[in-house]
Structure 1
Amino acid sequence: MPKIVDHDERRLEIAEALWQVARRDGIHAVSVRTVAAQARMSPTALRYFFTTQDELLEFAMHAVADRVAVRVRSRLDAAGTPEGVRRLLEELVPLDDDRRLEQGVYLAFVVRAQTHPGLRAVGEEVESQLAGLVRTAMEALRASGGLGEGRSIGGAARSTYALLDGLAFQGALWPERHPPKELKKILHEHLAELASPLAGS
């Protein structure tokens, strides 16, 4: 009896192979051939799922964002306290190998997207999605009493998103210089600052 192939599962396996190639060898090394080799399948078989390299890259970028979003949303129910919000935001910081891989590949895609129209549109969509998650976290922080007097949800979301961008960049590119302990400390200090009254309020 022939084996039934789960197309969605196979596409995710291909995306995982793409992330591994990009993280190990750089985004320039991503091709149908290299990804097929990493996924242990033939280039012809890979093209059955993705007819062009552009389709492959766009799918992988969506998959990275979806993985992060699933983890963050899984913590939303526990975000009823400042501690819960902190743990939620830590999912967006490269504190372990999996998150470093996601951040490193995402940054590589962002760079390529500057000259790649298809990826640029996807990148803007992903950025909007992540910014929305951070705003949701700030709304939860306000509800739990973690935003100081005079601080707005919008302002807190913008500063937090900018901080997370910086932590992702440093932690993904220079993990030895910026270990997880340091990244967590910076995030915790930022949240402590948000909990204090805004100067002049």
Structure 2
Amino acid sequence: MPKLIDHQKKKEQIVEYTWQSIVNSGAKGATVRSIAKLADKTPGQIRYYFPTHSALLDAVMEKVNRKVAQRIQEIFGQEDLTEKERVIQAVLAVLPLDDDRYADMEVWMAFQYEIHEAGANTMGNEIRLLVQKSLQYLSEKKMLQEELPMELTIMRAHALVDGLALHKWLTPDRINNEQVMKLIRDEIHVWLKEEYR
């Protein structure tokens, strides 16, 4: 009887090895050859499941997006957190403040580098969407300042989170986690009515 191969499991393993390869070696770790070496496979075996390099990076980026979305969902499910604290923790969940989030940032940057090299737009909307949803959540809870300029607030917060993520990733010794957390708390503090600050 022929041996049954779980192709979905093989694909997931290759994605995991790719993630690990990028974490170990940055964007240059995303080559098919380096992934094959880490996975103890041939480049042909990798290409069987992911015919193009872009398809492989897309799969890895999808894994990172799922992880981050799950992290944020778990934060909003914590009943012991206030609404304000849920938003703060959700925004902090996308910043490289620990090994796991730093690794996710490595993968995200490798993905951005790849699509930049391909001549595509490298600016995703994930952070902007997180800021928009955070403001919407606080608005639904009647916690936002009534005169808050929404579009400018979204732009400012988006730029702040993007900038902090890059600084923490590129020069982690120049800004510590406590400083990052204070900057995020101060930003969200500005959004709120006096009684919720």
Match of 1:102 among 86, 101, 104: 104
How many aligned residue pairs are there? 191
Which residue matches 2:93? 91
| Deviations, residues 4-61 of structure 1 (Å, cap 9, x unaligned) | 4251x43333223223322332313422111122223332322221112222122222
* CA separation of 1:19 and 1:173: change in aligned 2, threshold 3 A: farther
Q: Distance in 1 between matches of 2:10 and 2:92?
A: 29
Q: Does 1:154 align with 2:151?
A: yes
Which residue matches 1:171? 168
Deviation at 1:3, TM superposition (A): 5.4
User: Secondary structure of the equivalent of 1:26?
Assistant: helix
User: Secondary structure of the equivalent of 1:114?
Assistant: helix
Which residue matches 2:70? 70
Which residue matches 1:192? 189
Q: Distance in 2 between matches of 1:112 and 1:52?
A: 12
| Deviations, residues 82-110 of structure 1 (Å, cap 9, x unaligned) | 11111111111111101011112212322
**Unmatched segments (≥5 aa) in structure 2:** none
Q: Which amino acid aligns with 1:99?
A: R
Contact 1:21 1:34 in 2 (8 A): yes
Which residue matches 1:114? 116
Contact 1:18 1:35 in 2 (8 A): yes
Q: Percent identity?
A: 26
RMSD: 2.6
State the TM-score, normalizing by the size of structure 2. 0.81
Deviation at 1:138, TM superposition (A): 1.2
- Which range is displaced more, 39-48 or 164-173? 39-48
Contact 1:142 1:153 in 2 (8 A): no
Q: Distance in 2 between matches of 1:142 and 1:80?
A: 14
Contact 1:138 1:156 in 2 (8 A): no
Q: Which amino acid aligns with 2:31?
A: S
Which residue matches 1:142? 139
Q: Which amino acid aligns with 1:112?
A: E
Q: Which amino acid aligns with 2:6?
A: V
